[in-house]
């Protein structure tokens, strides 16, 4: 899974336009399609803040011009750092990459005059431990356990938190390895609230969001499952369906698009929750589930899905999603579901048109009360607009910032990128996956390399260590394939307990780990007592 998501329409990470004189002229490229159109439409508050005065040109062969704030910038409220001389580190995004980098910086030993001031910016007030969002649907965890507030996590640290959205980025560090000697400022960040932040070092950890715009109807009718808000919406939708269909003969039909880890975990969790009241259908373009997973994990998942009668539709892709009412209004009221016509009009039902991705399969249509989308994601660094100038922030085809092996953005030594915001390959040349495990490890390196850069020490190249893969399969089911034991898979209750312990250890702070550990222990004790009572009752009733 990926991490804290922003709306692409409201959270663009954009450089300002700036033209330098004296042979140093370079036009800044915009990172948001449609942004230039807004500028051409006429003067606005946004366009006024996007203009910058040119600095005086240096003498021939001398130093490049220093970055200067324009008159428009000077009118913006500027974030006040507590200390004028200490390094300023601004971290954008509070997921695994951003929050854990901030905590890593806090844990390191610093010379008194070099300890940086750290500001963490995120659009949400909560950090979300995304791998455990599924447990919210089963009621196994409470919201505070996997989504604590940043204010609580950072209460005993020197890290400051600001809840806001990123609007514009203007880096100054493209002149040289450490900027001009007369200026330590690495650049500025403009937030949606209008607050301007000057930084010396920047960390991009903005995460990604679900990619729903690839199939007609998905954006309107499918629900993603990657944020706390997504999980709450899915839970509310399930509760509504459970109420409206309570005591009725009709089933709750749930379609899960995608059978990667997220899709399989969702299908297993929801099928366990609905039991004999629902039908879960999982669709995947591949001919198998979790094609990149270890064999043990895949086999354990298949066994659980089969036992819960999850219908796997493999080798299909979704062509479009429509509301039943829209299908009927178009005159095509003969959408088939298991050989029967749809009985009646219901605006809350949806039809998925499936097309075969492999030979030997036939097209078919599915009806569903709830459509969950787990296929694809897009980083929250939008694609660059076409321009005849070199890109100031190098992005790959997916819109991720290109970094070197130390996690610094190429051409920008004062900007680090990690998680979904970064494009980094392993020693074999393969692009690292956008998983919590990768972001967690990158945060450790990013924190150390910031320490090294500030203290003028050599930076360390990032090396990813695959510790294994874990997946939840329900309230008491999970599968774990550790990397240190080839062929070993822990599944069932043992895998479930091991997975929870592994995630407990990785919660952000010792205080939060202690509170959550006590909570989980108490719940486990209550469940054990309830199970014992149930067993005794059955034994006594049998005698």
SS (H, E, C) 326-378: HHHHCCCCCCEECCEECCCCCCCCEEEEEEECCCCCCCEEEEECEEEECCCEE
My answer on whether 149 and 229 are in the same domain is no
Which pLDDT score, from 0 to 100, does residue 250 have?
84
pLDDT at 330: 63
Helix 295-307 × helix 261-274 angle, to 10°:
30
Confirm if 326 and 318 have CB atoms less than 8 A apart: no
Domains identified in the chain, total number: 2
| pLDDT above 90 coverage of the chain, percent | 61
Look up residue 462 and give its DSSP letter: P
Q: Are residues 244 and 366 in the same domain?
A: yes
Judgement on whether residues 237 and 371 belong to the same structural domain of the protein:
yes
Max Cα distance, the chain (Å) = 100
Which of 413, 435, 455 terminates a domain? The answer is 455
Residues of the chain with pLDDT under 70: 1-74, 174-184, 327-347, 381-391, 542-543
Among 375, 390, 413, the domain-final residue is 375
What confidence score (pLDDT) does residue 543 get?
Answer: 55
What are the helix (H) ranges across 248-307?
A: 261-274, 295-307
pLDDT of 331 reads: 58
- pTM metric for this prediction: 0.81
Q: Are residues 418 and 401 in the same domain?
A: yes
Q: Are residues 112 and 173 in the same domain?
A: yes
Same domain, 385 and 369: no
Q: 352 lies in which domain range?
A: 223-328+347-375
In the prediction, which pLDDT does 184 show? 61
Q: Are 393 and 31 in contact (CB under 8 A)?
A: yes
Q: How many whole angstroms from its chain centre is CA 362? A: 35
Predicted local confidence at residue 500, as pLDDT: 95
CA–CA separation, 182 vs 411, rounded Å?
20
Cβ neighbours of residue 141 closer than 8 Å, sequence gap 6 or more = 132, 135, 520
Q: Are 32 and 10 in contact (CB under 8 A)?
A: no
520 is a domain residue: no
Q: Is residue 186 one of the residues assigned to a domain?
A: yes
* CATH number of the domain encompassing residue 269: 3.50.50.60
Check whether residue 270 and residue 360 sit in a common domain: yes
Q: For 400-437, what is each residue's pLDDT tens digit?
A: 899 999 999 999 999 999 999 999 888 778 888 888 99
Q: How far apart are CA 476 and CA 358, in angstroms?
A: 35
């Amino acid at each position: 899974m990926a991490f804290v998501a922003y709306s692409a329409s409201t959270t663009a990470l954009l450089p300002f336009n700036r033209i330098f004189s004296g042979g140093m002229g370079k036009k800044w490229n915009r990172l948001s399609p449609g942004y230039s159109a807004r500028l051409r439409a006429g003067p606005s508050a946004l366009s006024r803040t996007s203009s910058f005065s040119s600095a005086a040109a240096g003498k021939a062969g001398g130093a490049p011009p220093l970055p200067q704030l324009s008159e428009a910038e000077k009118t913006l409220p500027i974030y006040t750092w507590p200390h004028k001389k200490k390094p300023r580190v601004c971290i954008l995004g509070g997921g695994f990459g951003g929050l854990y980098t901030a905590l890593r910086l806090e844990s390191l030993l610093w010379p008194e005059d070099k300890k940086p001031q750290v500001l963490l910016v995120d659009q949400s007030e909560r950090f979300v431990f995304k791998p455990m969002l599924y447990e919210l649907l089963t009621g196994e965890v409470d919201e505070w356990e996997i989504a604590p507030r940043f204010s609580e996590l950072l209460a005993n640290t020197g890290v400051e938190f600001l809840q806001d959205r990123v609007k514009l980025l203007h880096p100054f560090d493209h002149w040289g390895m450490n900027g001009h000697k007369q200026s330590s400022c690495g650049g500025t960040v403009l937030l949606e609230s209008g607050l301007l932040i000057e930084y010396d070092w920047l960390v991009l950890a903005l995460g990604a969001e679900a990619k729903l715009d690839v199939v007609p109807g998905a954006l309107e009718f499918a629900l993603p499952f990657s944020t706390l808000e997504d999980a709450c919406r899915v839970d509310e939708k399930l509760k509504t369906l459970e109420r409206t269909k309570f005591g009725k003969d009709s089933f709750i039909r749930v379609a899960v698009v995608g059978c990667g880890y997220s899709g399989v975990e969702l299908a297993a969790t929801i099928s366990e929750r609905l039991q004999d009241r629902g039908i879960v259908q999982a669709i995947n373009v591949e001919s198998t589930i979790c094609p990149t997973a270890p064999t043990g994990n895949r086999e354990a998942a298949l066994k659980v899905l089969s036992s819960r009668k999850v219908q796997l539709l493999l080798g299909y892709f979704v062509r479009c999603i429509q509301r039943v009412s829209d299908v009927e209004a178009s005159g095509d009221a003969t959408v088939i579901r298991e050989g029967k016509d749809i009985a009646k009009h219901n605006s809350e039902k949806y039809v998925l048109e499936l097309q075969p991705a492999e030979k030997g399969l036939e097209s078919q249509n599915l009806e569903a009360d709830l459509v969950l989308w787990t296929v694809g994601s897009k980083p929250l660094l939008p694609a660059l607009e076409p321009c005849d100038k070199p890109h100031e922030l190098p992005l790959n085809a997916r819109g991720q910032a290109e970094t070197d092996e130390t996690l610094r953005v190429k051409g920008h030594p004062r900007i680090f990128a990690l998680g979904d915001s970064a494009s980094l390959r392993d020693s074999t040349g393969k692009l690292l996956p956008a998983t919590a495990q990768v972001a967690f490890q990158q945060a450790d390196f990013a924190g150390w390399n910031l320490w090294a850069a500030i203290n003028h020490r050599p930076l360390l190249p990032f090396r990813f260590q695959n510790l294994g893969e874990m997946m939840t399969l329900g309230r008491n089911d999970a599968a774990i394939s550790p990397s240190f034991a080839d062929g070993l898979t822990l599944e069932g209750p043992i895998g479930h307990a091991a997975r929870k312990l592994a995630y407990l250890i990785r919660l952000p702070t010792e205080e939060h780990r202690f509170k959550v550990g006590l909570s989980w222990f108490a719940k486990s004790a209550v469940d054990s007592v309830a199970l014992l009572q149930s067993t005794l009752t059955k034994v006594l009733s049998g005698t």
